[in-house]
Structure 1
Amino acid sequence: MKVLKEITLEVLQAVLPLTIVVFLLMIAVLSSPIEEVLQFLVGLIFVVLGLIFFLVGIRIGLLPMGESIGNMIPQTQKLSLILIYAFVLGFLVTAAEPDVRVLASQIDMVSDGAIPNFILIYTVAIGVGIFVAMSIIKIVFNIPLKYILIVCYTGVFILSIFTPVSFVPISFDAGGVTTGPLTAPFIIALGVGVTSVLSSKSGKPDNFGFVALASIGPVIGVMILGVIYG
């Protein structure tokens, strides 16, 4: 019950300011009919309830599971298996991310249906999986995050030269997939669990950068799709 109360308060604090502004605009500026106002309020109730239930599930289910898996993976003592597990988990959680579905519809519009939705979803998921595994490599070999980011984004900018113009902005927007409500909490929790075992130092400094690295995968993936289908 304590978790439910905390999350309910957080959701209301996040939603109420926007609700008040929209409600005032509908009444004072747009003079919306009462039916539209009622529809907005009913939709708002469903949004609040959905956010509460979703965040409760994240808090009591996904986050503990991600951290627990992160603690267990390094116990295999084999780097190859650790990387495979990290890739598979990054792939699966991204494939289940709702934001990927929205991205797929945008790419479908840009490509005039030339790129099937499942190809885009799997490409983005593969990109995230690869860079989640790279985050593990960063921890194991103690590679500074800034060097990896410089090399990766240099490659991204070079690749953008060969990518059709219409795909470049969407490619960078694709990085936002890793900040989605499903992917980001899981990757962060996984990173906390892994670093608590693999790192001899405090896990917090090493954990920074998991999402930053994972966000590069979708960018590169969509650019490659643009080169292939463009």
Structure 2
Amino acid sequence: MKLYLGTHQPSWLGRNLGIPLLVSHRRLIGRRTFPRATHPWALDSGGFTELSLHGHWQTDAATYARAVRRYATEIGNLDWAAPQDWMCEPHVRARTGLTVRAHQHHTVTNYRQLRDLAPELPIIPVLQGQTVVDYHRCADLYEHHGIDLAALPLVGVGSVCRRQHTREVEQIMRSLTARGYRLHGFGIKLTGLARYADTITSSDSLSWSFTGRYQPGCTPTHQSEANCLRFALNWHKRATQTLPPHHPETLASAA
């Protein structure tokens, strides 16, 4: 497993940092040029922000697939990319006006579209829901369409960020692992990893940046540490040192 450091700064991809990064599509879209990645990285689709702002995806699957293909070609070293999934948090559903089942249907449909449009790209499926039953229903929906999740290198688990430290999410992760899935938990912080790091392959978190907002800048040019590379790398080092020793490959990244 890998420990991805989430960042708002695409330029960090070109820095020889010695660690893999996770960057959002929303930070890359519209750029005319990209840095060449010196290490493996992953792409978040930015779906949480997209749905929260607009109540739907403004970008269609074909356009997103072209963007991911460009990132894979021009930046290089792309480990995987998230699809245009539909989060199921209550406030997101209030914005879309749709049910959990509808969000799951849109998520699975988009993954199938992207797989057909760009089978060569490492786009991963993502499970969405709220309860344990929801996530298994979403998994069954993928399986119904002939997608063998257990055969894939990684399966994302969304809509858990704000409750990642709870017993309910632990139950979700353990029950999905029992189906043979290699899981990436979106937004899993150290409090969640302390509960169930043994069950997942990877996770992502932007907690270092949120913490840095309230830290005075380390140089006169930094008003805070929210986008400070030194602060981020120190956080990453401390995070890896505090991960459970029996699961050294746990991965933390940003959404």
- Is the TM value for this pair above 0.5? no
Which protein has the larger Cα radius of gyration, Structure 1 or Structure 2? Answer: 1
Question: Normalising to structure 1: TM-score of the pair?
Answer: 0.25
Question: Normalising to structure 2: TM-score of the pair?
Answer: 0.24
Query: Greater RCO between the two (CA within 8 Å, min separation 6)?
Result: 1
> When you count strand as a share of all residues, which structure comes out higher?
2
